[in-house]
């Protein structure tokens, strides 16, 4: 900040430069954290004798009054004062003469780094709870439809039968990793830079440990240059947010496909779909599509901040002002995506009959037949070849593999035709249930008992 006739500069900034460098329109969202840091700093300055008790009390009262105005939307932000810090300092000094002493021993460099870390800790706490909400919805839907069987896909081709609950639990696992990554980012943000000054600390005997305790940080930064230049904690947050976005996008894609007429497995509630301006029959999954699209925005913000940081020398450079808009927008995008996806998933209506119809093709049990041949002593590669030949023969004969005779199987695998018939015998539902329960001995497989155990454990964990 510069003003004519004062300090280092004798002339004001060019209006275009002032407008270009202004940040108060977006960094004012840090105001409450800035006030919190100022209260702690004032209290510490009182402890070391820079401020009197009366001055500390007056400053804290002034800061409290400003916060009430900010919360009520009555605080007057001035573009001419450039950023959140100068706005708050100027307003405090107008109200409390001792406010002019508050900036003793600190710089906007360590001040903004502290504000960002305080803000990010709260933001991540909310994000993690939003992830938990989505996990609860997925687990609840899996519990509600735990008997529903549908195809599992590779290459978007039907592969093997799975339960719908197992499919949803796959996303619960992804989100759990996201939850952990956000916790890691929060731990890295839990370091207090205040007291580092512009880059080289202070000649005053600042009590940083006292300030740390007042602000609830886990530790104090060890290097004043790194403390004001570091934005790794924001990069880690953006990286975690981008990966959450990728997982939400994949979930959205599955649900978009499954809700199409070509699949027909489920559909979103009307509140999470839109119509067409031209085609009256349409019911479009727009909320899921928007979540899928916003993942690109989250990835872009990560690349943006990495690009800002990659060429910066130590310590603070004005380029770092560019960290906030991408981080704030990413935070808003992530939270809204999690919240709308949880609500949209909770609205899903599942068509169990359509799922069963899609999974009833006996070819989806081809791997189970191969496994039976392996248990009878055939090497897996040979068993794979035998069943593949059976599928081809069924196609060429215009039939299905469950309708091939025992003689055909015998010709392909002498002495083992009965095994194939046993696997493929019975109604589609009966053999599907039998096939799924045959996986009960394998941890992580989609057996009914295994999936129910996972659902129960997740319900306890998320309670």
* Residues acting as catalytic residues: 155, 276
d(CA 281, CA 302): 40
DSSP assignment string, 345-408: HHT-EE-HHHHHHHH--GGGGHHHHHHHHHHTT--HHHHHHHHHHHHHHHHHTTS-GGGS-HHH
In angstroms, the first-to-last Cα distance of the chain is 50
In this structure, the strands spanning 157-163 and 349-350 are: unpaired
Query: What are the beta bridge partners of residue 266?
Result: 350
Question: For residue 416, with 0-12 CB atoms within 10 Å meaning exposed, 13-18 middle and 19 or more buried, which class applies?
Answer: buried
d(CA 129, CA 258): 27
Asked if 450 and 395 touch (Cβ cutoff 8 Å), the reply is: no
Radius of gyration, alpha carbons of the chain: 31
Query: What are the beta bridge partners of residue 157?
Result: 154
DSSP assignment string, 152-216: EEETTEEEEEEEHHHHHHHHHHHHHHHHHHHHHHHHHH-EE-TT-TTTT--SS---HHHHHHHHT
Query: What are the beta bridge partners of residue 192?
Result: 220
């Amino acid at each position: 900040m510069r003003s004519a006739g004062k300090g280092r500069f004798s002339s004001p900034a060019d209006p275009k430069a002032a407008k270009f460098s202004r940040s108060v329109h977006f960094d004012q969202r840090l105001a409450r954290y800035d006030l919190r840091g100022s209260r702690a700093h004032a209290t510490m300055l009182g402890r070391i004798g820079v401020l009197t008790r009366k001055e500390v009390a007056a400053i804290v009262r002034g800061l409290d009054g400003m916060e009430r105005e900010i919360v009520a939307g009555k605080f007057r932000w001035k573009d001419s004062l450039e950023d959140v810090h100068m706005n708050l300092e100027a307003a405090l000094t107008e109200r409390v003469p001792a406010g002019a002493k508050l900036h003793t021993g600190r710089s906007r460099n360590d001040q903004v780094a502290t504000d960002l870390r305080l803000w990010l800790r709260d933001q991540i706490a909310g994000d993690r709870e939003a992830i938990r909400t989505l996990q609860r919805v997925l687990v609840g839907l899996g519990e509600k439809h735990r008997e529903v069987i549908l195809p599992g896909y590779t290459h978007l081709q039907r592969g093997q039968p799975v339960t719908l609950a197992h499919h949803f639990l796959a996303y619960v696992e992804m989100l759990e990793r996201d939850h952990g990554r956000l916790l890691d980012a929060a731990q890295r943000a839990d370091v207090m830079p205040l007291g580092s000054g512009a880059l080289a600390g202070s000649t005053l005997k600042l009590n940083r440990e006292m300030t740390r305790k007042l602000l609830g940080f886990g530790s104090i930064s060890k290097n004043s240059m790194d403390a004001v230049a570091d934005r790794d904690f924001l990069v880690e947050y953006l990286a975690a947010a981008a990966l959450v976005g990728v997982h939400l996008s994949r979930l959205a894609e599955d649900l978009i496909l499954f809700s199409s007429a070509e699949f027909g497995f489920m559909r979103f509630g009307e509140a999470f779909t839109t119509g067409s301006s031209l085609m009256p029959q349409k019911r479009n999954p727009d909320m899921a599509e928007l979540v899928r699209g916003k993942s690109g925005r989250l990835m872009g913000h990560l690349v943006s901040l990495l690009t800002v940081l990659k060429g910066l020398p130590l310590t603070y450079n004005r380029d770092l002002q560019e960290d906030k808009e991408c981080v704030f927008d990413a935070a808003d995008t992530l939270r809204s995506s999690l919240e709308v996806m949880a609500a949209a998933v909770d609205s899903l209506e599942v068509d169990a009959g359509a799922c069963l119809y899609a999974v009833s093709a006996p070819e989806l049990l081809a791997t189970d037949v191969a496994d039976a041949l392996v248990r009878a002593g055939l090497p897996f590669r040979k068993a794979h070849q035998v069943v593949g030949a059976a599928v081809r023969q069924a196609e060429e004969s215009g039939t299905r593999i469950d309708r091939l005779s025992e003689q055909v199987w015998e010709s392909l695998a002498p002495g083992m035709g009965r095994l194939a018939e046993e696997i493929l015998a019975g109604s589609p539902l009966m053999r599907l249930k039998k096939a799924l329960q045959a996986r009960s001995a394998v941890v992580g497989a989609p057996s009914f008992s295994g999936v129910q155990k996972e659902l129960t454990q997740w319900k306890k964990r998320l309670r």
